[in-house]
Amino acid sequence: MSLDGGMMDPHAFTRILFQDFPSWEVSFFYLVGFAAIGSFIYGVYREVRKYLRGVPDARVIWDYAHIKQGIVAIATHRTLVRRDPYAGMAHRAIFYGFGVLFMGTSIITLEYDITSKLFGIHYWYGDFYLWFKLAMNIAGVSLVGGLIYMMVRRGWIKPPKLDYARPDRAPDAPDYDRSNYRIEDWLFLWILVIIGVSGFVLSGARMIWLADRPEVWDIRWWSPVGAFFAYGLRALGLDAEGAVILRQLIWWSHGALALTLISLIPYTKAKHIFTAIISLVVRDPLPAQRLPKVPEGQEQIGYRFLTDMSWKQLLHLDACTKCGRCHEACPARTTGGPLSPRDVILSLRELANSALQYSAVPEQSKLAMHGTGVGQVSSETLWACRTCMACVEICPVAVEHVPIIVQMRRALVEEGDMDPLLQKTLQTIHKSGNSFGESRRKRGGWAKGLPFPVKDARKEPVDVLWFVGDYASFDPRNQKVSQAFARLMHAAGIDFGILYDGESNAGNDIRRVGEEGLYEHLAESNISAMQSADFNRVVTTDPHSFNTIKNEYPDFGGQFEIEHYTSFVMKLIEEGRLTVKKQLGHRVTFHDPCHLGRFNKGYDAPRKLLEAIGCELVEMKRCKDNSFCCGAGGGRIWVPDPVGTEKPAQNRMREAASIEGLEVYVVSCPKDLTMFEDALKTTGYEGKFVVRELLEMLEEALEINLVEAEVTA
C-alpha cells in the first residue's frame, strides 16, 4: 500500500508530537526529559568509575574477530537459547522489540528536535510514517509478548533456578533473604509491560479523538494493535471527548514511565542491557582453560580486596542477569555443597556496589572479599568449587566465574586457609613431583610388565612423546590402562617414548587449587624436561595434563603439539594403522571429561571410536558441554567430601543407571575411572553395569595380542 497518486497531501499523514499541548507542558516535559538523561549520564559515570577502580586486564582482546563474535552472539541470542529455548526466544522478542521501539523513539526525536529545526528536513510523514507505525506495532507486540511469557515463567512455571535459594548461607544470615531481587525483577517486567501496553492505548485513544479526520482514521490499520484498542475503547463507550482526557492521562503516564526507566537504567538490573553486551564482546575464549599468571614483581598473590579484581571482572558482576543457569549446572550445588556460582557473583556485586560506587574508596577492611559478612564469600564456598567450568560454559552473558574463584583461592593458599589433607598433598607434590608421594624412579615402573621396551625420550629420539600423568603412572587400576595404550601404540608401529622420572605432575589441578607458585615450578620443570627431549608431537591419556600443556604451558615458553589419545587413536584407525577386528556390541553411555569436553571441545573422537568398535551409544541427559563433573577437578580429588552428602560421581551413577539395559559406563580420563568405579560400588549399582576405560574396550576390539602384536605401520 502506498499514498503515491492519492488525492491527499502525503504530508498530512503524520502525527504532531505535542498536539494541543500548551507551551508550559511542552517545556515541563523537556525539563523532566533532560533530568532523566542527566540521571542516566551520572549513573553511567558512576558505574564506569567503579569499573576503573579495578586493575587493567591485559588479556582483553579488542581485535575484529572477538568483537564480531560478541556481536553475533548478541544478535542471534545463541547463548540464551541454549538449554532454555523458551526463555531464550522470549528474551529475543523483548530484545528486538525494545530495540526497535528505542530506535523509533530516537528517529522521532531526531526529526522533531534536530533535522526539522536546524536544517528544515522533515521525513516523518507519508509512506515512511505508515511503515514506521506498522514496525512500531510489531515491535510492541514482540516486547509485550516476551514480557508476558517471562511473567508466566516467574509467577506460575517457577523453575527452581529462579528461586534465589542460597546454599552458601544459613537462613538466619543477614543476606540470606533476597526478596529485594524478586521485587526488582517484577518491577522491571511490569514497567516495561505498562510502557508497551500504554503505547497501544494511547494510539487507540488518539484514533477515537481524531476519528473524523481521514488522515488519522483511514490509515488506522497501519497501527493494527492501536486500532484494536480503539474499537475496544469505543465498545466500552469512550467518545471523542473522553478520548481527549484519556489521551492526556496516558500520554503523561507513558512518558513519565519511559523517562523513569531511562533514568534508572544504571542503578538497577536494567544496566545489563549494556554490561552484558560489553561482557560478550570482551569475553576470553579460554577463561578457565588458561588461568592468568601472576605479573612479575607483584608481591601479593590472588584476590583479597575488590580492587584486586580487573575492570572486566567488576563489569562481569553487573552483567549477571540472575538467570540461574550456572546455579542449576553447578555440580557442587547439585550435590549439596555450599556453592552457587550465581551467588558468588551476586555477593561480590553487592560488595562492589556498597564500596566502589561512591566518590571515595573506603578503607581496605570494607573491600575484603573473603568472609561471612554481607557481600563476602566464605572459604567453604570457594573450596567447594570443582573448577569444572559448567558455570562459565552456560552463562549467556560470558561471566567468567572460575578465574575469580581461583584468584580468591590463591589468597587462601597464601594464608594457609585450606583442608589439612589438601595442604599435605601439595607438600607431597612439591617434594616428590607426584600426588602419590612415590619415588620419582617408580614413575615408569608400570612399563616393566610389557613384552617390549618403552623408550626413554630423554635418551633417544622418538616421534611421539607420551606425557603419562600421575594417576596413569602410579594408580594400580590406571596402570593397566597405561599398559593397554602402550600395547596399542606398539601394535600401530608408533615410535614413542616417555620421560620416566623426568616427568612431574603437569600441575593443572594444582593451579586450580590456587597454588600458583608450585604450579609454575612444575610447569617449568616439565617444560625443561620436554625441551631436552627429541620428539615431534605429544600425546596424553590424561585430559587434565592435556589442558594445561596445550593452553597454559605456552605462557611459560612451552609450545608443544599435543593430542588426547581419543583423537590420536581415531586417526590411527582412519589411516589403517589399526584395524577393528571385533564388534563389541555393548549398550554404552559415555562420560565427557570436563577437561577434554567443556575445556577443549573434544566431543567427537570418543563417540567415533565407540561407533567404530560396534557399541550402541545412549547419551545421558547431561552430556557434551552439559556433562556433569565427576567431582575430582580443582583439587577436590584430594579433599574428602562431607560425611552424609552425595558425591558428584554418585549423582552421575544414578543418572547412568536410569538408562535401560546399560552395560558399560565408558570413561576416557584416569581420574574419572577412579571416581566412578568407587561411586559404582557405593551407590549399589555394581553388577548392573561396569565402568571401563575406552582404551580397554579399544584393545579388546582391536584384538591386540599381548605377546606378538601385529605391527601394521
The answer to whether residues 670 and 531 belong to one domain is: no
Residue 713 lies in a domain: no
Q: Rounded to whole angstroms, what are the CA distances from 27 to 31, 147, 256?
A: 6, 33, 14
Number of compact structural domains in the chain = 4
For position 569, which CATH number holds?
3.40.50
* Rounded (10°) CA dihedral 558, 559, 561, 567: 70
The answer to whether residues 364 and 271 belong to one domain is: no
Residue 6 is predicted with a pLDDT of 54
Question: How far, rounded to the nearest angstrom, does the alpha carbon of residue 67 sit from its chain's CA centroid?
Answer: 17
The answer to whether residues 459 and 481 belong to one domain is: yes
Residue 675 lies in a domain: yes
Residue 299 lies in a domain: no
The answer to whether residues 569 and 579 belong to one domain is: no
For position 348, which CATH number holds?
1.10.1060.10
The answer to whether residues 346 and 478 belong to one domain is: no
Domain span at residue 176 reads: 26-279
DSSP-derived secondary structure for 193-234: HHHHHHHHHHHHHHHHHTTT-HHHHTTGGGSHHHHHHHHHHH
Q: Is 452 exposed, middle or buried (0-12, 13-18, 19+ CB in 10 A)?
A: exposed
Sign of the C-alpha dihedral computed for residues 528, 532, 538 and 540 taken in this order: negative
Residue 1 is predicted with a pLDDT of 45
By DSSP bridging, strand 690-693 and strand 664-667 are parallel
Q: Which among 366, 388, 420 is the end of a domain?
A: 420
User: Rounded to an integer, what distance in angstroms lies between the CA atom of residue 278 and that of residue 398?
Assistant: 10
The number of residues making up the chain comes to 713
The answer to whether residues 237 and 140 belong to one domain is: yes
Residue 707 is predicted with a pLDDT of 38
Contacts (Cβ under 8 Å, ≥6 apart) of 544: 469, 506, 508, 509, 595, 633, 669, 671
The answer to whether residues 566 and 582 belong to one domain is: no
Q: Which among 521, 553, 573 is the end of a domain?
A: 573
User: Rounded to an integer, what distance in angstroms lies between the CA atom of residue 384 and that of residue 389?
Assistant: 13
The answer to whether residues 36 and 101 belong to one domain is: yes
The answer to whether residues 93 and 153 belong to one domain is: yes
User: Rounded to an integer, what distance in angstroms lies between the CA atom of residue 669 and that of residue 564?
Assistant: 10
The answer to whether residues 561 and 484 belong to one domain is: yes
Residue 473 is predicted with a pLDDT of 98
pLDDT means per 10 residues in the chain (713 residues)? 60 87 95 97 97 93 87 94 95 96 93 90 92 96 98 95 93 92 95 96 96 92 96 96 95 95 95 95 95 89 96 97 96 96 97 94 95 96 97 97 98 96 97 97 95 96 98 97 97 98 98 97 98 98 98 97 98 97 97 98 98 98 97 95 92 98 98 98 96 98 64 39
Q: What is the pTM of this model?
A: 0.94
Residue 587 lies in a domain: yes
Provide the 10 A C-beta neighbour count for residue 164.
20
DSSP-derived secondary structure for 97-114: HHHHHHHHHHHHHIIIII
Residue 297 lies in a domain: no
Instruction: Choose among 294, 526, 551, 525: nearest CA to 406.
Output: 294
Angle of the 476-491 helix axis to the 670-682 helix axis, nearest 10: 130
Cell 616427568, residue located: 503
Residue 8 lies in a domain: no
Q: What share of the chain is helix, strand, coil (3-state, %, to 5)?
A: 60, 5, 35
Residue 110 lies in a domain: yes
- What Rg, from alpha-carbon coordinates, does the chain have? 31
The answer to whether residues 584 and 692 belong to one domain is: yes
Residue 12 lies in a domain: no
The contacts found for 637-642 with CB under 8 angstroms, 24 or more apart, are 637/509, 637/671, 637/674, 637/675, 638/421, 638/422, 638/425, 638/435, 639/383, 639/419, 639/421, 639/422, 640/419, 640/421
Q: Which among 365, 386, 420 is the end of a domain?
A: 420
The answer to whether residues 89 and 108 belong to one domain is: yes
User: Rounded to an integer, what distance in angstroms lies between the CA atom of residue 666 and that of residue 681?
Assistant: 16
